[in-house]
Amino acid sequence: MRLSQFHLRTTKETPADAELISHRLMLRAGMIRKLASGLYTWSPLGLRVLRKVEAIVREEMNRAGAQEMLMPTIQPRELWEETGRWEKFGPQLLKVTDRKDQAFCYAPTAEEVVTDFARNELSSYRQLPVNFYQINTKFRDEIRPRFGVMRAREFLMKDAYSFHLSQADLAREYRNMHAAYTRIFSRLGLEFRAVLADSGAIGGDASQEFHVLAGSGEDALAFSTASDYAANVETATAAEPAPRPAPAEALRRIDTPTQKTCEAVAELLGIALQRTVKSIAITAADGTFVLALVRGDHQVNEIKLAKVPGLAGYRMASEAEILAQLGSEPGFLGPINARQPIRVVADRDVAALADFVVGANQAGFHLAGVNWGRDLPEPEVIADIRNVVEGDRAVDGGQIRLARGIEVGHIFQLGRTYTQALGATVLDENGKAAVMLMGCYGIGVSRIVAAAIEQNHDANGIIWPDAMAPWQVAVCMINPKHDPAVSAAAQALLEELQAAGLDAVLDDRGLRPGAMFADIELIGIPHRIVVSERGLIAGTYEYRARRADAAENLGKAALLERLRAG
Amino acid sequence: MRLSQFHLRTTKETPADAELISHRLMLRAGMIRKLASGLYTWSPLGLRVLRKVEAIVREEMNRAGAQEMLMPTIQPRELWEETGRWEKFGPQLLKVTDRKDQAFCYAPTAEEVVTDFARNELSSYRQLPVNFYQINTKFRDEIRPRFGVMRAREFLMKDAYSFHLSQADLAREYRNMHAAYTRIFSRLGLEFRAVLADSGAIGGDASQEFHVLAGSGEDALAFSTASDYAANVETATAAEPAPRPAPAEALRRIDTPTQKTCEAVAELLGIALQRTVKSIAITAADGTFVLALVRGDHQVNEIKLAKVPGLAGYRMASEAEILAQLGSEPGFLGPINARQPIRVVADRDVAALADFVVGANQAGFHLAGVNWGRDLPEPEVIADIRNVVEGDRAVDGGQIRLARGIEVGHIFQLGRTYTQALGATVLDENGKAAVMLMGCYGIGVSRIVAAAIEQNHDANGIIWPDAMAPWQVAVCMINPKHDPAVSAAAQALLEELQAAGLDAVLDDRGLRPGAMFADIELIGIPHRIVVSERGLIAGTYEYRARRADAAENLGKAALLERLRAG
C-alpha cells in the first residue's frame, strides 16, 4: 500500500465537542466522521482498524467452535413481545413502522431472534450444544450519545448465543467463551481484566465483563492483590469484618447543632469517620419503611441493597415518610427510635461496630457510644450493602485495589430466561421435550477501537498495538525527489517487508519530514522506518518504535529481526 | 471442517409459499430462514456462501483501487432533503423517528451520505480521483417482498462512489469498474452479460447493468448475434427499417363490426399482422393529446416513449378525452381524423409502412390501404418507441436475440446530480471551486447468491460454481463404524485436500449413503468423494462432479489432479 493512493486526512485542530481522548484522536486522525448524533462514518483508515479487530474476533470464535450466521437488523415487534422486552427495553429500543403499519425495531441485541431461530432449527438433543454468533450492526437509541464510537447509537457488535441441554454443559461453554475472549483480547494486545458483573436487566445467573483498563474508563473495578479475583464495584465484595469488640463507652446524647453529615460529626467529636454510621431511609416496594446503615466512610451500593430480600424495587423515602416514621428531619436520623420499631438493614461493617455514633432522630442531636444489643436490638438483617474501597481486605486474604475500565465484552449464563418465554425445546435422550439452557456472549467490536486508544496514546497521538494497527510498519522517504535512489530503496524495502508478512505502508506523499512524521505518529503506526540518502550511504535504516524515546540506525538484517520480534 | 460439528438442517418438503426455484432450494438446503416478510436470517451454511461472494467483491474492488469505508445505515432526514430524495424516493424509503423526534431513514443507498463525506473530506483536485465503497446492509421497504433474498427488504449490497474533476476521468473510472465487475462475475463462475440500461430515477448519463442469465430472470435482455451489443429491452434498439415502399393500394373503409384488435383485423383481412398499426392515445404532461403508433406485431416501450421531446410524464388518455378528440371509442382509433389535426408520434417501423391498416375513428370500421403523405400527413415525429423483438435486425448488422436476466450489478455515470445539490466542490488546478463529477457502482451481494442458484441447479438441488460453494469438496464415508480404516482414510484425505488449498468438508454425521448423498447434492457441493471399504481395497476413491452423469474411481494422484483442474 502507498499512502499517495490512500485517502488520509489528518487535522491539527482538537475538535471542540469531543471530551474523550480517543474521540479527539479518532477525529484528528480522520478515522471517523460524525454524520449525526451518535452516528459515525468510518473512513478507509478507521475501517482498516475496525476490520482487524473484527477478523481476530471471528477467528477466535470459529476456533472455539462457534458458528457464524447473520440475523436481520430489523426485527418484528411480535417476537419482542413474546419476551416482554418490546416494552421493557425502554426508549433505547429504536422502533420502526413499515409502509404496511407493521411495527419493528432496529435490533439492539438478538436474543429473541436467535431463540426463534433455535426453536425452529433445533429439535433434538443430538443437535446440542451449539453456539451461533454474528458480527453485525446494532442500534441503541442512547439518550445522550457521546464519546464518539465509545457510546455511539449505531455500532458493530459480535453477539453469540449458545444452547444446551444441561447446566453443566452451559457452564462448560461459558468457560470455553471465557477462554476465547481471553485469547481475543490478548491477541489484540490490550491490557484487560475479566471481572464478575451484575447480570442486570438481561437476567440469568452468572456473568463476567471483560474490561480494557484505562484511567478514563466509565466503570470502577476492584481487584485483589492475592488472586485473580476481580469484580465490577457494582458487585465486588470485601472479606467479612473482624468480630465486634466489646462495648467500652456509655450511650450519650451529644449536641450537633449544625452537624448533619458523618464527616462533620466525626470532626466535632475528634473521632475516626469509621466510627460513625449513616442512616439511609428507604421505602420498600411493599411500602415498608427501612433504615439502611453503612459506615460513615462507606457508600451504599444500590445494586447490592436491592438484592436484600424484600428490597427489590425500593426507593428513597420522602421527607414526609421520614418525618412520620422517625419524627426527625434528614441529617439526624438513626436506628434508635422512640416512636415505633424500625426495620434495620445493617451493612456487615456496621454490625461489627461497637461504641459508634448515629443520629438521635432529633434535629441538632446525635447519639454516641451506641452498642448493638444494649442500646438497640441486634440488626434484623446483616448484609453486604456497600461499595468496596481501596485497601479493603479481599475474600482471598489480599488487599482490594481499585482501577477503572471500559467494558468491551460480556459473557452470561442466561439459563432459561428466553427459551422458556419463547418455548424453545428439544427432545432429550428420553424423548421428552426439554426447555434449552442458553448462554450469551457479546463483544463491542467498534468500542474496542476507542478503548484501545484510551489505553494506548501519548501527546503525539495514538499508539496502536501491532494487531490492531491500520499498518504495522510505515516506510518514510526523506527527499526522494532529490535522490531517486531513496525512492527505489524505499519501494524495495516495502516489498521486502510485505513478503515477510508484515502489513506495511509506504509514505510517498512527498511531505516534509516533520509533517510526515507527525501524521505517522498521530495515526499510531507502531513501527517507523526512515529511508534517507545518508542512511543509504551508511547502509542503514532509521528505525523507531512508536513508544521508543529515540530512533536507532540498523542494517537491513537487524531491522527485519527487530520487526519480526514485534 | 466436519459436518457433525456444523449446524446443517435440510428438508425434503418444498415450501408452499416459495415461487422461485432459488427460494425453494435455499429454504430446503437450510441456507436461510424467514423472520418476517422480506427479512431473512442466514444460517451458517447460507452465510458461508454469502461471505465467499463478499470476499471476491472486496478483493476485486481493492484491486481496482477503490477504498473500503463504512457509513451508518441510519441516516438523517436533513441530508436526504438536500437532494429532494426524502420525498422522491417514495414509500420504499423506511423512515424512522428517534426518541428525540428527529427523522431518519434506513439507507436504501448512500449517495447523500457519501457526497456529504466527500464535501467534507475532499478540498483539492490533488485528492482526486477517489472511489469509496462499502459492503453494508441496506433496506428497501418493497410493497410486495418475494422470491426470498432475490427481492428482500433487508439485503447486503456493495455500493461504491467515485469522485472526479473531469468527465474524461469519470469515464475512465467507469471503464475501470466495468472491468472490475467483469472480473468479479467471472471469478464467481457465473454466466453474465453487461447490458446498456435506462438510468432511471437515479439520474445521470451513462449506465450499464450486469445480469446473471437465467430463464426465470425478471428482466428481458436483447443481444446481437454479431457483436457485444447487449441492452435491457427497456433501452435496446433495432436497426433502422428498410425504406418505405411506394403505395400500391387505394384507401378504403372496411367493415370491422367486432374486430377491435390488430390481430382480429389482420385475420379478417387475411393480411400479415405487420401491416396493421396500433394507435395508443396518450396525454402529454402539458395536456396535448397524442397518438403513438406502433406496428400491430410490436409493443410500445413506455420508457422510450417518455423520452420523446414533450412526452416526459405522459399518461394514457381517458375514454372521455379520446371521445372528445377522435369521436370514437377505443378499438377503432387511428391517425386519420376528420375533426381536427392530431399530433402523431410514429414508431420508425410504422413510418416505413405502405398500404397499412388503421382504425377509422368510427365504431365498427377500419381503414386499409393507408399511405403516408397521400392519405394523411407525414408523421410529425418519428422515433424508436417500441420494444425490440426476437429476430429484429441489430444496429451492428446481426440479429437480435432475447434472453432473460437477473440484475446483480449496476454502474452509473451520475455526473453532477448529487454533488451539485450538496455543493461538493474542490479547488481545481487554478484554485477555482469546481463541482465534482460522480460515478456510482452497485452490486447486490445477497441477490447474487439467489441468482447463481437460478442459473445453476437441477432436480436434486443447487449446483454451486466452485468459488461460491459453501465447500468445494465433500468427503463422504461409507459405513465408517463397520471399518475404522474408512474413517481414518477419510480424515487423512480431508487433511490432504485442505493442505492442497481446497475448502473441503468431511461428512461424518453417520447417515446412510442415500440420505448423505441427497444432502450433499441438495446443498450443491461441486465435488464429491466417497471413501469406502471396497475403494480402500482397490486403492481408489469414488469421485463425482456435481454436474457429471456418473462417478469414476480414481487413485489419489489422479483425484487431486482432477480437483486442482477445478
Residue-wise pLDDT tens digits, B424-466: 999 999 999 999 999 999 999 999 999 999 999 999 999 999 9
The H-assigned helical ranges of A139-273 are 167-187, 262-269
The residues facing B139 across adjacent strands are: B154
Q: Which of A:370-409 have CB within 8 Å of B?
A: none
Is residue A196 predicted with pLDDT exceeding 90? no
> Which site among A6, A74, A106 would you substitute to test the B interface, given the most B Cβ atoms closer than 10 Å to its Cβ?
A74
B304: helix, strand or coil:
helix
C-alpha cell at A137: 450492526
- For residues B274 and B349, membership in a common domain is answered with yes
- For residues B440 and B503, membership in a common domain is answered with no
Residues above pLDDT 90, as percent of chain A: 88
pLDDT tens profile B48-107: 999 999 999 999 999 999 999 999 999 999 999 999 999 999 999 999 999 999 999 999
In this complex, is the C-beta atom of A132 within 8 Å of any C-beta atom belonging to chain B? yes
Name the residue among A68, A91, A102 with its Cβ closest to that of B99: A91
Residue type, A475: V
pLDDT averaged over every residue in chain B: 94
Give the Cα separation of B117 and B476 in Å (integer): 52
Q: CA angle A279-A283-A288, nearest 5°? A: 105
- Distance between start and end Cα atoms, chain A: 20
The single residue listed with the C-alpha cell 446503615 is A293
In a domain, B392, yes or no: no
CB A106 within 8 A of CB A96: yes
In a domain, A394, yes or no: no
Is residue A482 predicted with pLDDT exceeding 90? no
Give the Cα separation of B332 and B367 in Å (integer): 9
CB A334 within 8 A of CB A279: yes
Helix (H) or strand (E) holding A410: strand A400-415
In a domain, A354, yes or no: yes
- For residues A220 and A265, membership in a common domain is answered with no
Please compute the mean of the pLDDT values over residues B380-394 and round it to a whole number: 94
- For residues B376 and B431, membership in a common domain is answered with no
pLDDT tens profile A292-326: 999 999 999 999 999 999 999 999 999 999 999 99
pLDDT averaged over every residue in chain A: 94
What is the pLDDT at residue B361?
A: 94
Q: Which of A160, A206, A196 lies closest to A180, judged by CA?
A: A160
Instruction: Look at A183-197, A225-239, B354-368, B485-499 and tell me which has the smallest mean pLDDT.
Output: A225-239
B348: helix, strand or coil:
helix
> Which site among B2, B7, B42, B149 would you substitute to test the A interface, given the most A Cβ atoms closer than 10 Å to its Cβ?
B7
Distance from CA of B53 to the nearest CA of A (A): 15
> Which site among B39, B41, B96, B135 would you substitute to test the A interface, given the most A Cβ atoms closer than 10 Å to its Cβ?
B41
In a domain, B268, yes or no: yes
Distance from CA of B253 to the nearest CA of A (A): 53
Name the residue among A5, A44, A121 with its Cβ closest to that of B7: A121
**Domain boundary, last residue among A394, A422, A454:** A454
Counting Cβ atoms within 10 Å, is residue B427 exposed (0-12), middle (13-18) or buried (19+)? middle
Distance from CA of B315 to the nearest CA of A (A): 26
In a domain, A183, yes or no: yes
Please compute the mean of the pLDDT values over residues A464-474 and round it to a whole number: 98
In a domain, B227, yes or no: no
More confident call, B42 vs A330: B42
- For residues A96 and A133, membership in a common domain is answered with yes
Contacts of A74 in chain B (CB under 8 A): 39, 94, 106, 139, 153-154
A143 with B47: Cβ contact below 8 A = no
CB A368 within 8 A of CB A265: no
Contacts of B94 in chain A (CB under 8 A): 74, 96, 98-99
Give the Cα separation of B330 and B279 in Å (integer): 9
> Which site among A6, A80, A99 would you substitute to test the B interface, given the most B Cβ atoms closer than 10 Å to its Cβ?
A99
CA dihedral in degrees (B251, B252, B258, B264; nearest 10)?
A: -50
**Domain boundary, last residue among B325, B348, B383:** B383
What is the pLDDT at residue A201?
A: 43
- For residues A304 and A359, membership in a common domain is answered with yes
In a domain, B200, yes or no: yes
DSSP class of A37: T
Give the Cα separation of B307 and A167 in Å (integer): 69
B5 with A65: Cβ contact below 8 A = yes
| Count of residues in chain A | 566
Give the Cα separation of B209 and B181 in Å (integer): 10
In this complex, is the C-beta atom of B492 within 8 Å of any C-beta atom belonging to chain A? no
Backbone angles phi, psi at B306, to 5 degrees: -70, -15
pLDDT band at residue B198 under the 50/70/90 scheme: low
What is the pLDDT at residue A199?
A: 53
Distance from CA of B503 to the nearest CA of A (A): 15
- For residues A105 and A166, membership in a common domain is answered with yes
Contacts of B8 in chain A (CB under 8 A): none
**Domain boundary, last residue among B333, B352, B383:** B383
Q: Which residues of A281-297 are buried (b: 16+ CB within 10 A; e: fewer)?
A: bbbbeeeebbbbbbbbb
A135: helix, strand or coil:
strand
For B120, nearest residue in chain A (alpha carbons): A33
For A124, nearest residue in chain B (alpha carbons): B9
What is the pLDDT at residue A290?
A: 95
In this complex, is the C-beta atom of A303 within 8 Å of any C-beta atom belonging to chain B? no
Give the Cα separation of A251 and A228 in Å (integer): 44
- For residues B356 and B499, membership in a common domain is answered with no
pLDDT band at residue A289 under the 50/70/90 scheme: very high
CA dihedral in degrees (B207, B213, B217, B220; nearest 10)?
A: 60
CATH of the domain at B480: 3.40.50.800
- For residues A263 and A232, membership in a common domain is answered with no
Name the residue among A43, A91, A139 with its Cβ closest to that of B69: A43
DSSP class of A124: B
In this complex, is the C-beta atom of A530 within 8 Å of any C-beta atom belonging to chain B? no
B74 with A153: Cβ contact below 8 A = yes
CB B350 within 8 A of CB B339: no
| Count of residues in chain B | 566
CB A191 within 8 A of CB A213: yes
A106 with B98: Cβ contact below 8 A = no
What is the pLDDT at residue A194?
A: 92
Task: Provide ipTM, 2 decimals.
Answer: 0.87
CB A331 within 8 A of CB A359: yes
For A149, nearest residue in chain B (alpha carbons): B72
- For residues A186 and A160, membership in a common domain is answered with yes
Q: Which of A37, A10, A55, A150 lies closest to A454, judged by CA?
A: A150
In a domain, B236, yes or no: no
Give A23's contacts (C-beta < 8 A, 6+ positions apart).
A15, A147, A148, A149, A150, A450
Name the residue among A51, A72, A106 with its Cβ closest to that of B40: A72
- For residues A301 and A409, membership in a common domain is answered with no
C-alpha cell at A470: 491500520
**Cα Dmax for chain A:** 95
pLDDT band at residue B235 under the 50/70/90 scheme: confident
Cite the beta strand spans of A416-526 per DSSP E. 425-427, 433-435, 437-444, 457-458, 461-462, 473-477, 504-507
Is residue B203 predicted with pLDDT exceeding 70? no
Give the Cα separation of A260 and B37 in Å (integer): 63
Q: CA angle B439-B442-B445, nearest 5°? A: 160
CATH of the domain at A317: 3.90.960.10
The single residue listed with the C-alpha cell 439459563 is A415
- For residues B484 and B440, membership in a common domain is answered with no
pLDDT tens profile B496-515: 999 999 999 999 999 999 99
For B446, nearest residue in chain A (alpha carbons): A70
Give the Cα separation of B91 and B74 in Å (integer): 16
pLDDT tens profile B285-312: 999 999 999 999 999 999 999 999 999 9
What is the pLDDT at residue B201?
A: 43
pLDDT tens profile A483-495: 889 999 999 999 9
Q: How many beta-carbon pairs below 8 A join chains A and B?
A: 148
Please compute the mean of the pLDDT values over residues A22-33 and round it to a whole number: 97
Q: Which of A179, A163, A159 lies closest to A445, judged by CA?
A: A159
What is the pLDDT at residue A202?
A: 43
Give the Cα separation of A229 and A223 in Å (integer): 6
In this complex, is the C-beta atom of B520 within 8 Å of any C-beta atom belonging to chain A? no
In this complex, is the C-beta atom of B63 within 8 Å of any C-beta atom belonging to chain A? no
Reported as half-sphere exposure (CB side, CA atoms, 13 A), residue B152 has a value of 30
pLDDT tens profile A369-428: 999 999 999 999 999 999 999 999 998 889 999 999 999 999 999 999 999 999 999 999
Contacts of A99 in chain B (CB under 8 A): 91-92, 94, 141, 143
Counting Cβ atoms within 10 Å, is residue B29 exposed (0-12), middle (13-18) or buried (19+)? buried
CATH of the domain at A416: 3.30.930.10
Domain of B499, in residue numbers: 471-565
DSSP class of A273: G
Is residue B145 predicted with pLDDT exceeding 90? no
Give B533's contacts (C-beta < 8 A, 6+ positions apart).
B478, B479, B482, B483, B485, B486
pLDDT tens profile B155-180: 999 999 999 999 999 999 999 999 99
In this complex, is the C-beta atom of A155 within 8 Å of any C-beta atom belonging to chain B? no
CA dihedral in degrees (A200, A205, A211, A216; nearest 10)?
A: 20
Contacts of B141 in chain A (CB under 8 A): 98-99
In this complex, is the C-beta atom of B127 within 8 Å of any C-beta atom belonging to chain A? yes
Residues above pLDDT 70, as percent of chain A: 98
B72 with A117: Cβ contact below 8 A = no
**Cα Dmax for chain B:** 95
What is the pLDDT at residue A198?
A: 65
Query: Is the full-model pTM beyond 0.95?
Result: no
The structural domain count of chain A equals 3
